[in-house]
Amino acid sequence: MHVYLPIAEMSANALLFLGMGAAVGFLSGMFGVGGGFLMTPLLIFSGVPAAVAVGTGTAQIVASSITGAIAQYRRNNVDLPLGLVLLCGGIFGAVIGVQLVRILRELGQFELFLSLCYVLLLGVIGSLMMIESVRAIRRSQLGGEASTRRPGQHSWVHGLPFKMRFPRSKLYISAVPPLLIGAFVGFLTAIMGVGGGFIMVPAMIYLLRVPTNIVIGTSLFQIVFLSAVTAVLHSTLNSSVDAVLGALLMVGGVVGAQFGTSAGAELKSEQLRFLLAAIVLLVGLRMGWSLVATPTELYSLGNTIRGR
């Protein structure tokens, strides 16, 4: 079943992208992550232009995370003020990121930049997760219960000005760290087509000391709105959001995620994290390989933005 993707300007098999959406959706539902960091590389591997992969990926994240966000909101797991502060920073970061994508795309360096970002990010995140999950698996084998919340501890974060009260998280902290974290995640969303939960969640837990049950909900809330804004920005400035491709990924993704969620509930979280770390490292390796392997064709055509 062939479809023509109007923005990617290629014709491809619809089933390929439906399946890709379903697979990534399944994994993201199971691991409780957005899946953007898998979706974007897979789209690039299958021939979608890098900028279109990123732009369309941001739109797809909206579909994949909105259900979870609503569910978390209903369970009162969203710290709205904190989410809004994160979102403000996020939008600021996204605006800068989208501009950077535009400039790099004109220079013909966006693909290289994106690959480098992915190799770096996936390598670091994957290694950290791998180490952490191995430790956690060992710990659980020894019978101890891992706790991430260490209440009462203070760090440099608590010495900053513009203090705000976040009652839901039982926090009284400066607005600067959440703004900065938000901006960084927003920047990543715009340049890499990721939700950024894998940065947001550890940053909220370890830097802001937000209670774990609030972290997921607030992060999801922030991701939905941030990726929606980023998708609109990409569409406006880069014309890099493909509606047909997006729709295929969304349909595959939301269905896959539903099965993934129930599957994830059955597995131990340490095992899940180990598995996810392995997938992350594999994708990173594959990306890195394309940077160092001698290409068969040295020349390439400049991807001038078509349309008119």
Partner 1 sequence: MTKSLTLVLLLAAALAVVPGFALGGAVARPDAQSPTVTQSTRLAPSPIEIATIKRPRLRETAPAEPPKPVDVPPSLTPVEPVPSPLAPESVEADVSMRSIAVTSGYAGAEIVVFGTIENSRQPSAESGFYDVAIVVEGVTERQDLRQKQRVGGLWVNRPAFAFASVPSYYALASTRPVEEFAEAGVRDALGLGFDHIAMTPAVAKSARPSSVELAEFRQAIARLKSNQSLYLRDDYGVVFSGRSLFRAAVQLPATIPVGMLTARVYLFQNGVLLSQYQSRVTLTREGLERWLHDFAFDKPLLYGLFVVALAVAAGLTASAIFRPRAM
Q: Which of residues 179 and 257 has its CB atom nearest to partner 1 in the complex? A: 257
Q: How far is CA 175 from CA 120, 131, 203, 205, 229, in A?
A: 28, 31, 14, 16, 21
Give the helix/strand (H/E) hosting 233. helix 212-238
CB neighbours of residue 299 within 10 Å: 5
Give the helix/strand (H/E) hosting 51. helix 50-74
Residue 238: what residue type? N
Sign, CA dihedral 27-89-224-81, equals positive
Decide: is 153 part of the binding site for partner 1 (CB under 8 A). no
The interface with partner 1 within residues 211-240 (CB under 8 A) comprises 228, 231-237, 239
Decide: is 16 part of the binding site for partner 1 (CB under 8 A). yes
Pairing outcome for strands 2-5 and 171-174:
unpaired
Q: Kindly write out the interface string for residues 38-67 of this chain, putting x where it contacts partner 1 by CB under 8 A and - elsewhere.
A: x--xx-xxxx--x--------xxxxxxxxx
The interface with partner 1 within residues 91-120 (CB under 8 A) comprises 108-109, 111-112, 116
Q: Which of residues 62 and 179 has its CB atom nearest to partner 1 in the complex? A: 62
The interface with partner 1 within residues 187-206 (CB under 8 A) comprises none
Q: Which of residues 109 and 148 has its CB atom nearest to partner 1 in the complex? A: 109
Residue from 141, 152, 156, 297 in contact with partner 1 (CB under 8 A): 297
Decide: is 250 part of the binding site for partner 1 (CB under 8 A). yes
Least distance to partner 1, CB of residue 162, Å: 31
Decide: is 277 part of the binding site for partner 1 (CB under 8 A). no
Give the CA dihedral 58, 262, 285, 204, nearest 10 degrees: 60
Residue from 20, 86, 121, 280 in contact with partner 1 (CB under 8 A): 20
Closest CA to 62 of 183, 215, 198, 225: 225
Decide: is 152 part of the binding site for partner 1 (CB under 8 A). no
